[in-house]
């Protein structure tokens, strides 16, 4: 099912606007691309997998008659944000909507995970996202219009053993998003951190784990994000159960009890993908 916008949401965007979506080739990024293409927006699609980007662009152009620019890129590369900005400028485009969707997680005991993997995670989830915000938000403020959607997580609200660096990175993204919401609100730029729980994407396949709980659809997550943006919220949690978990558990438990509980849960909801179902 395609994500759709209500009247309030659709007023935020029009066919003259251009959206930059990172991690656009699959999952939530792909769902954002369909939702915004439905509004006639021009799209700049960024991901590492060139062929998937080409297929998505062709699909969007055929279905929605939208103009797509694909920029295959590894955002963990040095000066990736600057390179991306120069390519967009060379194409004669400007960014009205920035969707920072690209990200990944490691899994396992912190000391057993290669340091290079943790550094790559921080580069993509934290540094690249920060650089993209810093690159494109000033021009939005100068024009007096713009929107930024940053992908956070329910793990933004508490530490997560076995995914320690990932949860820490998402806590950073949530804090940054809410602070930027306040700073840029008087300048006509909306910022929101969307905090989904488990979602039906490639996330767990890449992680090498089989998640045993329920998963939301990417389309539902996109709907929640766009509605929160329309309501000018600094952040929003997708799903009532996730909202209860995110907002109540940290208040109801001591930090020690919270970490113990989340640590036990994180081990029980995963199983190795090689163990079968």
Q: How far apart are CA 197 and CA 58, in angstroms?
A: 30
Neighbours of 153 (CB within 10 A): 30
Q: How far apart are CA 136 and CA 14, in angstroms?
A: 19
What's the longest Cα–Cα distance across the chain? 54
Residue of 54, 107, 166, 212 marked catalytic: 166
Question: Nearest 5 degrees, angle CA 94-CA 130-CA 11?
Answer: 45
Spatial neighbors of 42 by CB under 8 A, at least 6 apart, are 15, 17, 18, 19, 66, 67, 68, 69, 93
Q: Is the Cβ–Cβ distance between 46 and 20 less than 8 Å?
A: yes
Q: Is the Cβ–Cβ distance between 209 and 271 less than 8 Å?
A: yes
CA 53 to chain centre: 17
Q: Is the Cβ–Cβ distance between 155 and 163 less than 8 Å?
A: yes
Residue of 54, 170, 256, 264 marked catalytic: 170
Q: How far apart are CA 95 and CA 101, in angstroms?
A: 15
The verdict on whether 170 is a catalytic residue reads yes
* Half-sphere CA count of 75, side-chain side, radius 13 A: 27
Residue (of 25, 22, 33, 27) closest to 55 by Cα position: 25
The verdict on whether 166 is a catalytic residue reads yes
What are the residue numbers of the active site? Answer: 166, 170
């Amino acid at each position: 099912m395609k994500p759709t916008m209500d009247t309030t949401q659709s007023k935020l965007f029009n066919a003259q606007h251009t959206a930059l979506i990172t991690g656009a080739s699959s999952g939530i990024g792909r769902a954002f691309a369909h939702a915004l293409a439905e509004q006639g927006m021009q799209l700049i699609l960024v991901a590492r997998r060139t062929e998937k980007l080409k297929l998505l662009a062709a699909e969007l152009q055929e279905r929605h008659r939208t103009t797509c620019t694909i920029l295959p890129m590894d955002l963990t590369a040095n000066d990736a944000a600057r390179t991306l900005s120069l390519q967009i400028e060379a194409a004669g485009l400007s960014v009205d909507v920035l969707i920072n969707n690209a990200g990944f997680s490691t899994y396992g005991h912190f000391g057993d995970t290669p340091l290079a993997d943790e550094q790559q995670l921080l580069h993509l989830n934290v540094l690249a996202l920060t650089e993209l915000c810093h690159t494109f938000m000033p021009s939005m403020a100068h024009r007096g219009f713009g929107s930024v959607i940053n992908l956070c997580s329910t793990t933004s609200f508490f530490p997560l053993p076995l995914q320690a660096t990932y949860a820490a990175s998402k806590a950073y993204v949530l804090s940054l998003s809410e602070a930027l919401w306040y700073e840029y609100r008087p300048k006509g730029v909306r910022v929101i951190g969307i905090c989904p729980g488990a979602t039906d994407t490639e996330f767990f396949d890449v992680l090498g784990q089989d998640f045993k709980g329920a998963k939301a659809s990417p389309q539902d997550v996109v709907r929640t994000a766009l509605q929160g943006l329309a309501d000018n919220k600094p952040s929003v949690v997708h799903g009532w159960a996730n909202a209860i978990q995110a907002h109540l558990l940290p208040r109801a438990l001591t930090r020690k009890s919270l970490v113990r509980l989340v640590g036990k849960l994180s081990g029980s909801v995963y199983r190795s993908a090689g163990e079968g179902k």
